[in-house]
Homo-oligomer: A and B are copies of this chain.
């Protein structure tokens, strides 16, 4: 469900969770990357929903094929963050008018990723209105094994797959705020790959996991809140793509790796002794990961940078905050 921005989450919690009805077969309700449903004993189903609105989540004029890919990928990423195996998806598409070239490209991007991920589109609703795309994804996860945000423990190390801040540099480039090389950054922004196989491999190793959709500090902050712990990150350890290093060198702005969203990497915590085993498992699925800090019992998020320990605000992109 990825209601990770604080403003959104506050809204949902305030109006839709207080006093809401609980179903006896729900294992985990609102508040994590996915809900976990238990239709039958011994069997769990992970469910997530995300909306992309033109002008909010993507720029007007975004290539339709890439948009189709991304609309599915961001939901697969929520399943990945729970360690679930994607299976089914529904699509609610609101369009201002019927544009056959757009529909053909959008569906082609969406369906190509679905096929590659063994995901079937099983429900749809198309409506006339301002362009927006709502995708709900469902996947399997072994009973009681789903990776929650709430399991981080002091002494765990903090890890992230791939690199951080790349999509954020891509957005700055597309918006005209940055004129350096950003081709990989734009690709990361427009065609993210959900870390589904990596999420599956994390089952049994990771104590807590989230996908980095709103920025590392905000998303790790959700783990810290849910787990009632704190963390210290080491700036030097953050995995940065060359295009991000160049961006920082040229602009002096070092914040994207911490606050920029849309990377769809997995941030997780794990006892560091599992590192060798996990390294072998993730190498087999072609995903790199990096230790970037430690979970501590003291609340809050701290960053060690240039020999200084500083408090980091736990925040990211918030739709309803100004």
Contacts and interface: CB of A to CB of B under 8 A. Distances in A.
A159 B92 CA distance: 30
Interface string A119-130: 111111111111
Interface string A66-81: 0000000000000000
Interface stretch (A110-118, A160-168, A218-226, A233-241): A110-118
A90 B47 contact: yes
Contacts of A126: 3, 8, 11-12, 319-320
A122 B56 contact: no
Interface string A3-17: 100001001101111
Contacts of A43: 39-40
A45 B104 CA distance: 30
B119 A50 contact: no
A274 interface: no
A268 interface: no
A103 interface: yes
A219 to B, nearest CB: 15
A266 interface: no
A53 B128 CA distance: 8
A150 interface: no
A23 to B, nearest CB: 4
A26 interface: yes
A63 to B, nearest CB: 16
B56 A127 contact: yes
A290 interface: no
A163 B315 CA distance: 53
A106 to B, nearest CB: 8
